[in-house]
Chains A and B, each alone.
Chain A
């Protein structure tokens, strides 16, 4: 069963989350639903610091034994930090997708983009429609 999706952040239809850190930066990751679908994450390709990404551009790659998936950036901005712990422990995404399994931090160029994304209940409704 899926864990509850935190209400302090926003979600994409591509199953990423983003949280506004309050200082024009945002932290991103993939949702609990995404990690459940992937299972067994064994490798994460992290973005380079300083990279500029547009909203919904591929920013990282997560691989499970069976599949490869792009991670799309929920917002436009510059990558200022990547979760280096994932290099040795990619399973952190499976264990704690909304916490220790964060993927990168970005300096947001257009913080208003957050408003274009789903809130927790909208995301849950979206998953429900996707499953049927």
Chain B
């Protein structure tokens, strides 16, 4: 299994380690619910070194990315990041990733851990086929470490070791700065539904930042958080997990990614998506809650009037709402909030209701949150 530079720290902290897509990662340090609530109320620190970073550089980098990404990145400024889909020819989602414009003709794609190798091979193939000979595509993953600092106290904690004024940073923007004198990229973004930061620094220095942040965060209630709570936090906030809620058989219009598809430009998968857009989708990923306790898990079947009609892709017990929540694919006619269906849990059926997303929204939005990501 691959280990992040923080592996020994996790073991020393008493974390339970699991295999996550070939990476030995901490699933929890104490327990999932406690770590979840800590992130919502104070702050949490996550080892995300397993995620992928692929750089695209050179003359034509913009044109290349316009060709492979569903999102129109025209107008993106240096210091701005964008969420996008990487689609295949059929419009299927190969990955959902963030695009950082680091410098003129220098983009960084931050990919999921499990999709990075596939993305990289795909990008090289398209570059070759379409004759983008001027650009250079490099897999930077091994050299870059990544930490997520999430939760309402994140800014107070990080500000102690970053010279730049973090309060002025807008959501989905980043700075290239120094953290503890270590060159780093810091973006205001994350995967928990809270205010927070993603911090990228050299792989061999990331441990120093981890240690210092945990120290700086003591008075603010900062705790290290495992992948277990990362999953419940993202799900409560209505965010999807690649490989669970979507894969290459799913298109952006079937999930909530229609807004990051721009049919007005030419890109890989555009024609298939254009066709689907005009015909309308047949199924839709929806959020649901259940009245009874219990957990509807990935792969459980959805029934309506005794007929199997869909499948659960994610499900958990929401620590904030204290009830069962989840995501499921259902026929589009059953996707309206308020619609009910049944989920088979082992040998019985439990009623569930479609609700509008997200399940959880933080009470006080960050002041710059209205900047469209």
Chain A interface (Cβ < 8 Å from any Cβ of B):
39-40, 42-43, 45, 61, 63-66, 68, 87, 90
Cβ-defined contact, B295 with A40, below 8 A:
no
- Counting residue pairs across A and B whose Cβ atoms lie within 8 Å, the total is 37
- Other 13 A-B pairs with CB < 8 A, given A43-B317, A64-B32: A39-B32, A40-B31, A40-B33, A42-B295, A42-B317, A43-B295, A45-B294, A65-B32, A65-B232, A65-B295, A65-B319, A66-B27, A66-B28
Would you call B294 and A66 a contact (CB within 8 A)? Answer: no
Docked-complex contact B346 and A61, CB < 8 angstroms: yes
User: Does A43 lie within 8 Å of B31, measured CB to CB?
Assistant: no
Residue count of chain B within 8 Å CB distance of chain A: 15
Smallest distance from the beta carbon of B76 to chain A beta carbons, Å? 37
Judged by a CB distance under 8 angstroms, whether B4 is at the interface is: no
Q: Which residues of A contact B31 (CB under 8 A)?
A: 39-40
B293 pairs with A66, CB closer than 8 A:
no
Interface residues of B in 200-245 (CB under 8 A from A): 228, 232
Query: Which residues does chain A contribute within 8 Å of B50, judged by CB atoms?
Result: none
List 7 A-B pairs, minimum CB-CB distance, nearest first.
Answer: A42-B317, A65-B32, A39-B31, A40-B31, A43-B293, A40-B33, A43-B294
Bitwise, B323-348 to A at CB < 8 A (1) or not (0) is: 00000000000000000000000100
Expressed in whole angstroms, the Cα–Cα distance for A66 and B232 within the complex equals 9
Question: Max chain B CB contacts within 10 Å: which of A63, A66, A68?
Answer: A66
Q: How far is the CA of A118 from the CA of B316 in the complex (A)?
A: 35
Does B297 belong to the interface (CB within 8 Å)? yes
Smallest Cβ distance from B249 to chain A, in angstroms? 26
User: Do A65 and B346 have beta carbons less than 8 Å apart?
Assistant: no
Contacts of A90 in B (CB 8 A): 293
List residues 279-322 of chain B with CB under 8 A from any CB of chain A: 293-295, 297, 316-317, 319
CB pairs A–B below 8 angstroms (9 shown): A39-B28, A39-B32, A42-B317, A43-B294, A43-B295, A64-B32, A66-B28, A66-B32, A90-B293
